Structure 1
Amino acid sequence: MKKILSIAAILAATSLTVPAFAQNSKVEKVGQDIKKGAKKAGNKTAEIASKGKSRVTDTEHKDKVGPNGENIFIDNHSRYYWVDDKGKRHYVTEGQLKDKPKD
């Protein structure tokens, strides 16, 4: 997925024709904007994929949430974890879990 986003970013950057008299700062800003957008899209894709996999393969804890209110999953080794906005798992102990607030 990162290769696809990288290729798309490169194609988008090369498709923007910049006149020879354009200032370097404009070109650098466009490049930075593309890089920033590609990184943001990649992080969101990783988050969605990781949370989707967790919902399918692991069980979600019904009564508890993480230290900052995150959804908690239980893997097949009975370990508790939550998924951050970059798709990374953060394992927590049972003592760090909090009761889920009532709606």
Structure 2
Amino acid sequence: MKKITGIVAVLFMLSVPVAIHAQDSTSTVKKTGKAIKKGAKKVGNKTAEVASKGKAAVTDSKHKDKVGPDGETIYIDNHSKYYWIDDKGRRHYVTEAQLKDKPKDD
């Protein structure tokens, strides 16, 4: 009987570190959750950008001779306003004075 009690006690002591380690795995879950959230946000932004640029290409016209302040494609809406689309799919309206000449391709 003493041997069985001793064996059970040893097995119990060996199982305690496993339980402690299992409680520490929440940091792994948090890291994985943050990585998934970051990836989902990146995919959502890219989807919004592609959708906005696709809609603009169909409904609005592109300016042939001018680009935006940082070389972006300029679109002209039906109210003759100039805008470009950022990497999150948002429109940024610009004035004619902010437009730059399109660089010549050699």
Q: TM-score range by the shorter chain?
A: 0.7 to 0.9
**Aligned position for 2:90:** 88
The 5 A counterparts of 1:6-45 are 21=22, 23-45=25-47
What residue identity is the alignment partner of 2:70?
N
Query: How far apart are the structure 2 equivalents of 1:82 and 1:90?
Result: 5
**Aligned position for 2:51:** 49
Aligned-residue offset at 1:25: 1.1
Query: How far apart are the structure 1 equivalents of 2:67 and 2:82?
Result: 10
**Aligned position for 1:66:** 68
Query: How far apart are the structure 2 equivalents of 1:24 and 1:85?
Result: 33
Aligned length: 84
In structure 1, stretches of 5+ residues that fail to align are 1-19
In structure 2, stretches of 5+ residues that fail to align are 1-20
Aligned-residue offset at 1:24: 1.4
Aligned-residue offset at 1:102: 0.5
| Runs (4+) off by over 2 Å | none
Aligned-residue offset at 1:90: 0.1
Q: TM-score, length-normalised on structure 2? A: 0.77
Query: How far apart are the structure 2 equivalents of 1:62 and 1:96?
Result: 15
Q: CA RMSD in A?
A: 1.1
Aligned-residue offset at 1:66: 0.1
